[in-house]
C-alpha cells in the first residue's frame, strides 16, 4: 500500500505541475483528492492493514494529501500569474502613439458673417436685441405704418398662424424696432438679427426662410448723414476700405425718406457682369429715416427725436462676402460646400 501511495504521489505531482490551465488542474485535483478520487480509494482499503501499519500509512496518506494540496495551490498561483501577465501584454497601452483627433465642427458661413457684422456694430456702440419669429401682425405691420390692404399682408405673401390674421411668421425683423421703442427711452442703438419668413419659392436668390439684421438708431438730431456714415463704415469694414456704395431712393412704409444701398460689384468692379446682372451694383439692404408716425405709435415724440433704420439681408451679405453665387448652398448642408469654411 505504501508503494501504491508513493506511486500516486509521484504521478499526481507530475500531473499537477504540468497542468497547462485551470481545467486541467481541477481535473487532477478531482482525480486524486476528490471524494471518489484515487487517494480516497486507497485509504478505503486501510481496514485490511495491521494495527502497526495503519498509523504509518495514515501519516503517509496525510503527508501526500498536504503535498498535493500545496502543489495544486502553487500551480494555481502560477497559472493566475501567467494569465495576468499575458493579459497585461495584450492590453498594453502605448502612450506614445498619437491620439485620434476629435473631429471638430466649425461655423456656418452665415454665422461667420453675422459675427463679423455684430462685432462691427458693437464697436460703434450698438447692442443686440431679440424678438419673436411668431409675431403679432400689429407689430410687423400696423405699427410699422403698413395698413390693412398693403400687399405684404396678403395670404399669398405671409404665413398666417391664426385665421383672423392677427398672428403670423414675421416677414421682416422690423417689428423688433417697435418692441424696442415701446420699452426703451432714446437714445436707442440696436441691431436685431434673426429669421424671417415669406411665401417665396426656392431658387438661386429666394427662400421661404431667410435672415435679416435689423438696425435702429433713435436720438436727438439723428440725420441721414449718420445713416450713410454708419452703413458705409459697415460695408468698408466687411468688404474692404475701397468698397463703393450707392444710396438709391426707394420706398418703405416705415421710413421717410427711404433708400436702398448697393455695393459695387465685387466681380466686375462696376463694369457689369453676370453676377450683378449687368448692373455693376449689388443691392445689400434697405434703410431710411424712421417715419414720424412710427415713432409716434411707439410713444416717441418725433418733434424731439429722429432716427434711422435699416434691414440687411444676411444671405446676400454672406454671398457677397464669400463670392457665393447660389443661396441654396447656404441651406442644403452639403459638406463639400460647408467644409470650405473650416478655419475661416
Report the candidate in 215, 190, 192, 186 with the shortest Cα–Cα distance to residue 306.
186
How many other C-beta atoms lie within 10 A of the C-beta of residue 6?
A: 12
CB of 108 to ligand DAH, least distance (A): 22
Is the distance from CB of 279 to CB of 272 less than 8 angstroms?
A: yes
Q: Which is nearer to ligand DAH, 261 or 265 (CB)?
A: 261
Q: Which is nearer to ligand DAH, 48 or 151 (CB)?
A: 151
Binding site for ligand DAH (CB under 6 A): 172, 174, 214, 252, 255, 286-288, 309-311
CA angle (53 as vertex; 50, 57 as ends), nearest 5:
130
Residue number of the CB atom closest to ligand DAH: 311
CB of 173 to ligand DAH, least distance (A): 7
The answer to whether the Cα torsion of 178, 183, 188, 192 is positive or negative is: negative
Q: Give CA 203 to chain center in angstroms.
A: 27
Q: Give CA 14 to chain center in angstroms.
A: 66
CB of 117 to ligand DAH, least distance (A): 15
CA distance 317 to 284: 7
Cis status, amide bond into 257, omega within 30 of 0:
yes
CB of 281 to ligand DAH, least distance (A): 17
CA distance 239 to 262: 13
Q: Which is nearer to ligand DAH, 58 or 229 (CB)?
A: 229
Q: Which is nearer to ligand DAH, 31 or 293 (CB)?
A: 293
CB of 140 to ligand DAH, least distance (A): 9
Q: Which is nearer to ligand DAH, 255 or 264 (CB)?
A: 255
CB of 110 to ligand DAH, least distance (A): 17
CB of 333 to ligand DAH, least distance (A): 25
Core vs surface per residue 73-88: b (16+ CB within 10 A) or e: eebbeebeeeeeeeee
The answer to whether the Cα torsion of 310, 313, 314, 319 is positive or negative is: negative
| SS3 state at 327 | helix
Q: Which is nearer to ligand DAH, 37 or 194 (CB)?
A: 194
Q: Which is nearer to ligand DAH, 13 or 284 (CB)?
A: 284
Amino acid at each position: 500500500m505504501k508503494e501504491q501511495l508513493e506511486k500516486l504521489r509521484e504521478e499526481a505531482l507530475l500531473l499537477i505541475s504540468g497542468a497547462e490551465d485551470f481545467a486541467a488542474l481541477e481535473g487532477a485535483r478531482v482525480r486524486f483528492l476528490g471524494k471518489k478520487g484515487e487517494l480516497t480509494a486507497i485509504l478505503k482499503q486501510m481496514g485490511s492493514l495491521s494495527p502497526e501499519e495503519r498509523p504509518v500509512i495514515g501519516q503517509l496518506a496525510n503527508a501526500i494529501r498536504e503535498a498535493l494540496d500545496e502543489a495544486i495551490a502553487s500551480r494555481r498561483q502560477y497559472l493566475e500569474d501567467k494569465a495576468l501577465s499575458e493579459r497585461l501584454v495584450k492590453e498594453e497601452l502605448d502612450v506614445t502613439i498619437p491620439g485620434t483627433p476629435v473631429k471638430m465642427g466649425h461655423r456656418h458661413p452665415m454665422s461667420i458673417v453675422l459675427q463679423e457684422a455684430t462685432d462691427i456694430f458693437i464697436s460703434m456702440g450698438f447692442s443686440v436685441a431679440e424678438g419673436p419669429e411668431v409675431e403679432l401682425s400689429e407689430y410687423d405691420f400696423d405699427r410699422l405704418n403698413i395698413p390693412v390692404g398693403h400687399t405684404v399682408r396678403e395670404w399669398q405673401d405671409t404665413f398666417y398662424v391664426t385665421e383672423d390674421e392677427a398672428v403670423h411668421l414675421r416677414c421682416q425683423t422690423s417689428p423688433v424696432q417697435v418692441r424696442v421703442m415701446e420699452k426703451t427711452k432714446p437714445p436707442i442703438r440696436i441691431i436685431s438679427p434673426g429669421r424671417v419668413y415669406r411665401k417665396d419659392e426656392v431658387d438661386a436668390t429666394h427662400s421661404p426662410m431667410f435672415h435679416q439684421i435689423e438696425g435702429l438708431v433713435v436720438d436727438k438730431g439723428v440725420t441721414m448723414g449718420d445713416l450713410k456714415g454708419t452703413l458705409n463704415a459697415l460695408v468698408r469694414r466687411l468688404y474692404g476700405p475701397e468698397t463703393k456704395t450707392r444710396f438709391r431712393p426707394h420706398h418703405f412704409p416705415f421710413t421717410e425718406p427711404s433708400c436702398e444701398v448697393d455695393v459695387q460689384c465685387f466681380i466686375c468692379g462696376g463694369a457689369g457682369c453676370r453676377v450683378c446682372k449687368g448692373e455693376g451694383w449689388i443691392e445689400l439692404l434697405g434703410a431710411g429715416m424712421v417715419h414720424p408716425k412710427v415713432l409716434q405709435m411707439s410713444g416717441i415724440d418725433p418733434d424731439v427725436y429722429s432716427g434711422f433704420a435699416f434691414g440687411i439681408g444676411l444671405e446676400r451679405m454672406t454671398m457677397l462676402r464669400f463670392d457665393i453665387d447660389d443661396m441654396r448652398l447656404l441651406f442644403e448642408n452639403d459638406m463639400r460646400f460647408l467644409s470650405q469654411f473650416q478655419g475661416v
